Amino acid sequence: MTGVQPSRLQNFPISWFAVVMGMAGFTGAWHHAEILLALPVRPSLVLLALTVITFVLLLALYLTKILKYPNQVKAEYSNPIKLNFFPTVSIDLILISVVLLPYSHSLSLVSWAAGAVLHLAFTLHVLSMWLHQTHFEVDHVNPAWFIPVVGNILVPIAGVSHASPEISWFFFSIGLIFWLVLLTIIFYRMLFHQPLPAKLLPTLFILIAPPAAGFISWLQLTGELNAFARILYYVSIFLTLMLMTQVKRFLKLEFSLSSWAYSFPMAAITIATFTMYEQLHLPFFKGLGMALLILLTVLIAMLVWKTARAVRHRAICIED
Tell me the per-residue pLDDT of 145-186, one tens digit each, with 9 for 90 and over.
999 999 999 999 999 999 999 999 999 999 999 999 999 999
Provide the residue type at 256 as one letter.
S
CA 179-258-130 angle, 5° bins: 40
Burial class (CB in 10 A: 0-12, 13-18, 19+), 199: middle
4: region left, alpha or beta (phi > 0 left; psi from -120 to 50 alpha): beta
Give the other-Cβ count within 10 Å of 104's Cβ.
12
List, in sequence order, the alpha helices (H) in the chain.
Answer: 6-10, 18-37, 43-68, 70-78, 88-100, 105-132, 146-150, 156-159, 165-192, 209-222, 227-244, 247-251, 263-280, 283-312
pLDDT of residue 98: 97
Q: Is the Cβ–Cβ distance between 267 and 297 less than 8 Å?
A: no
Give backbone dihedrals phi and psi of 300, rounded to 5 degrees, phi first. Answer: -65, -40
**Which range is least confidently modeled, 46-50, 79-83, 132-136?**
132-136
Alpha-carbon distance of 153 to 215, in angstroms, equals 9
Q: Is the Cβ–Cβ distance between 147 and 91 less than 8 Å?
A: yes
163: DSSP letter: S
Average pLDDT of the chain is 93
pLDDT of residue 2: 46
Give the other-Cβ count within 10 Å of 64's Cβ.
14
Q: Which of 117, 121, 105, 99 is nearest to 55 (CA)?
A: 99
- pLDDT-based confidence at 135, cuts 50/70/90? confident
Provide the residue type at 279 as one letter.
Q
Burial class (CB in 10 A: 0-12, 13-18, 19+), 300: buried
pLDDT at 47 over 60: yes
Domain boundaries in the chain?
A: 6-312
Tell me the per-residue pLDDT of 156-166, one tens digit each, with 9 for 90 and over.
999 999 999 99
Q: Tell me the percentage of the chain whose pLDDT exceeds 70.
A: 97
Give the other-Cβ count within 10 Å of 58's Cβ.
20
- What is the architecture, at CATH level 2, of domain 6-312? Alpha/alpha barrel (1.50)
Which residue has better confidence, 80 or 15?
15
Give backbone dihedrals phi and psi of 167, rounded to 5 degrees, phi first. Answer: -65, -45
pLDDT of residue 129: 87
pLDDT at 53 over 50: yes
Alpha-carbon distance of 202 to 255, in angstroms, equals 10
Please report, for residues 63, 67, 155, 318, the alpha-carbon distance to residue 116 in angstroms, rounded to integers and kept in the order given: 20, 25, 7, 31
Q: What is the mean predicted confidence (pLDDT) over 261-281?
A: 97
Q: What is the mean predicted confidence (pLDDT) over 280-287?
A: 96
Cα 35 to chain centroid distance, Å, stands at: 23
143: DSSP letter: G
pLDDT at 3 over 60: no
pLDDT at 37 over 90: no
pLDDT of residue 320: 66
pLDDT of residue 78: 87
11: DSSP letter: T
Q: What is the mean predicted confidence (pLDDT) over 61-66?
A: 95
Q: What is the mean predicted confidence (pLDDT) over 265-270?
A: 98
Cα 85 to chain centroid distance, Å, stands at: 10
